[in-house]
Structure 1
């Protein structure tokens, strides 16, 4: 078994995900609409409500978990893995990494 029940993805790998991957943002509503914004197509499911919300979701559906820095989404991925989900991705670095300006190439 792998050390993590999920795979970390960097913001540059987001384009590799197909349309079948559901984007779940586990931040609070004020963060979702705040300065960092959210990914296109992301659904807001705050971490505290995630397990109840996910109870009716198909276990085979791939899920990308998103938060501010990657910590809460990693916890969310672990909780979902315990719930039987098998295709989980964590956005490493979270929305901070998505919004971080890329260093100019020299």
Structure 2
């Protein structure tokens, strides 16, 4: 199964949303379609960034990439209910390296 990673910058919380709701929303949304291997919160240039690794069912290379991008967008939509977001990146694991999709 191909492994993908999303990186989503978080620029703020929406009123009434606790910080933990951001990761919960991301994992829950992505988990409806894929197995989420790991999740963590990092600081990238002083900006919080969600990193989630997930598996996509093996089909064809282009279809897998499309499914990963579509799922990442769905995850971003869920997170935007509780937080303000910045850039979203989708990466695919290939030969031991993460490459942009």
Fold in common (TM above 0.5) = no
Where relative contact order (Cα < 8 A, 6+ residues apart) is larger, the structure is 2
> Normalized per residue, which structure has more strand?
2
TM-score for both structures, normalised by structure 1: 0.31
Using structure 2 for the length normalisation, give the TM-score: 0.32
